[in-house]
Structure 1
Amino acid sequence: MRTRTLLLALTASLPFTPAASALSEYGIEGMGVVSTRADEIRATLAADGQRIIWASNREGGAGGWDLWQARLQDKRWTDPQPLALNSSADELDPFLSSDGHWLYFASNRKGGHGGLDLYRAAIAADGSLGAPQNLGPTLNGRQDERSPTLADDGRLLFASNRDGGGGGWDLWQTRASGDGFTAVTELAEINTPADEVDASWLGGGRGVVLARTNPQGGTQLWLSQCRQGQWDQPSLLELSFNSADSDTRGALIDANKPAELVVSGTARAPRAGGMDLYRMKAPVVDGDDSCR
């Protein structure tokens, strides 16, 4: 399957186990419940800290990559379950809005505009999810769109391999407007001929953490900050397994603990299987608001 090959190429239990490899690292997330022998990428947490949703290719879902969730009980993630909105296609890159009203994600299910499209599903008061809504042709084109992240001011950040960027996968942004979104623009200072994917806002939108491919064949996490109306040259995120030959991606702020990031990667230890989910200290963001 073309999409699955692309995703893999790009690609409770004790919530965290101490890691001695770097001061910024707190350990693996949900050993055996969230992080398993399968691959887990990009986790998003509810603002009350009681719910985590992530993408996995583990067995038991609807097929391909699916979205899974677990609930916090006695300070442990428990009862992992696939979401009812999963299809026989791929669902990945979940993001819970900070107001708790929406779950954003990417999917190549039938009925889209082409390849991976961006969707959202309303979250009811009891936590149940409504029917997925395609975000429309302003955002979704014939190519692929993934990694949606919404800032509190309405800016939606995502990745796409559409034409007009730096080459390959690039970062794009739009802004919520009524029931839709404004025209998309690229983050030109950040985009390069390499692939930029899995980006998310930090520091209230004054910073961007992103995954970028490198000539060694790896994917690493980088941080760019807004300064005087432009995004500065990204700096490498300090993480022991964020090396040139690694596949490290999918960094998102924990909405319940804004000083912490959850990232996807493969550490030597602790390790559950393929791509696992880990916690680390969020980097300091001292950029300004002039890129809004």
Structure 2
Amino acid sequence: MADWTRLGLCGVLAALACGCATQPGAPAFSVVGEAELFAPGVVSTDFAEIRLTISPDGRTALWFSRNRPGGAGGYDIWMSRRTGDAWGEAAPVSFNTAGRDFDPAFSADGRYVYFCSDRPGGLGGDDLYRVAVTADGFGAVEHLGAGVNSASNEWAPMLSPDGARLLFSSNRPGGAGRMDLFVAARAGDGFAAAAPVPGGVNTAADEFDSTYLADGTTIIFSRAPDLAADRIDLVFAALTAGAYGAGETLPLGVNDAQADTYGPMLDWSDRQQITFSGRRGGTGDMDLFVVRYRLEGGGR
């Protein structure tokens, strides 16, 4: 494939000046500039790399791959550390298992990494966990408990910037159908029982892989009628009067007209930037990209 680091579809489609706002009074989202391939040859490779999360100090990058050799299992979380302007050789993290370990997300303070796994000891399917970040690497893995996890699948945990809410997706009963977005409030050192994200954001389609933006309420998430059979796009939704609208699909240049785009995550080292995964003219299968954004207006 071509070795390129920028997406220039259709002249960047008028500089990607689409202002997405799904409800009156909601902030408008726009993309600033072009999406850039992240660390080609080190992080973005010929294998499938998904859901990049960057530590608040900008020195550590985590992501997962479902087919990169050298890990403990088929799905593994990988890490690269930055020295100066260069990202170092990637290596699997110490808390991988022989099962599925995926969807890492740093907390805003950098103290924890939240992630998914089907390792033994869960409640069924893929469950949500966290692991402490230590001076030497990582501490003991903690299951997030029955208020968050269920006998169904839970994916893509993301703690809000203020640490008060855990955003994730699940196909458990109680949603609108298929994968839906859920939120759980912090309760002491754990979380209260999760509930569907309020409003019209959950539909009969698959909604998953969500991230808060810097304001702590606006979200970017992935949607497909059937994520196993249909193209996946990134969607923007804002909170107005306590509820989210159905969302608006992001423009081309972030999304792709033919290929999947998913796994968005706020960059904690630069909160005006998001990361995402795309299957397009990069270096391999699913590659990792970063793009700057702007939120304007709105009033909650």
**Normalised by the size of structure 1, how large is the TM-score?**
0.88
5 Å-filtered alignment, 1:116-135, equals: 116-124=126-134, 126-135=135-144
* Candidates 162, 165, 174, aligned match of 2:175: 165
What is the alpha-carbon distance in structure 2 between the residues aligned to residue 161 and residue 256 of structure 1?
A: 31
The alignment status of 1:17 with 2:5, answered yes or no, reads yes
The alignment status of 1:62 with 2:72, answered yes or no, reads yes
For 1:237-279, what per-residue CA distance to the aligned partner results, in whole angstroms no more than 9, with x for missing partners? 12426145421101111111111111101222xx111000011
Distance 1:184 1:288, change over 3 A: farther
Q: CA RMSD in A?
A: 1.9
What is the alpha-carbon distance in structure 2 between the residues aligned to residue 203 and residue 241 of structure 1?
A: 18
Match of 2:269 in 1: 256
Distance 1:250 1:287, change over 3 A: farther
Match of 2:43 in 1: 34
Aligned-pair CA distance for 1:78? 1.2
For 1:112-149, what per-residue CA distance to the aligned partner results, in whole angstroms no more than 9, with x for missing partners? 1100000000111x151011110011111100001000
Aligned-pair CA distance for 1:89? 0.2
Aligned-pair CA distance for 1:36? 0.8
The alignment status of 1:44 with 2:57, answered yes or no, reads no
Structure 1, 41-50 or 253-262: larger mean CA deviation: 253-262
Counterpart code for 2:39? G
What is the alpha-carbon distance in structure 2 between the residues aligned to residue 74 and residue 152 of structure 1?
A: 26
Contact 1:203 1:285 in 2 (8 A): no
SS at match of 2:221: strand
For 1:165-203, what per-residue CA distance to the aligned partner results, in whole angstroms no more than 9, with x for missing partners? 010000000111112211211014200000000001113
What is the alpha-carbon distance in structure 2 between the residues aligned to residue 32 and residue 110 of structure 1?
A: 33
The alignment status of 1:209 with 2:220, answered yes or no, reads yes
Question: Structure 2: which 5+ runs fail to align?
Answer: 16-32
What is the alpha-carbon distance in structure 1 between the residues aligned to residue 98 and residue 292 of structure 2?
A: 36
The alignment status of 1:246 with 2:255, answered yes or no, reads no
Counterpart code for 2:54? L
Aligned-pair CA distance for 1:30? 0.8
* Candidates 238, 247, 250, aligned match of 1:234: 247
* Candidates 101, 112, 115, aligned match of 2:125: 115
What is the alpha-carbon distance in structure 2 between the residues aligned to residue 148 and residue 107 of structure 1?
A: 11
Contact 1:226 1:287 in 2 (8 A): no
For 1:11-55, what per-residue CA distance to the aligned partner results, in whole angstroms no more than 9, with x for missing partners? xxx9x9344332432321011110111101101001111110000
Higher relative contact order (CA 8 A, sep 6+): 2
The alignment status of 1:77 with 2:65, answered yes or no, reads no
The alignment status of 1:148 with 2:157, answered yes or no, reads yes
The alignment status of 1:275 with 2:286, answered yes or no, reads yes
Distance 1:107 1:95, change over 3 A: same
Contact 1:241 1:267 in 2 (8 A): no
What is the aligned residue count? 272
Counterpart code for 1:119? Y
What is the alpha-carbon distance in structure 2 between the residues aligned to residue 239 and residue 31 of structure 1?
A: 21
The alignment status of 1:101 with 2:111, answered yes or no, reads yes
**Normalised by the size of structure 2, how large is the TM-score?**
0.86
Counterpart code for 1:264? S
Counterpart code for 1:17? T
Percent identity reads 36
Distance 1:221 1:285, change over 3 A: farther
Counterpart code for 2:145? G
Structure 1, 274-283 or 154-163: larger mean CA deviation: 274-283
Contact 1:224 1:232 in 2 (8 A): yes
Structure 1, 231-240 or 113-122: larger mean CA deviation: 231-240
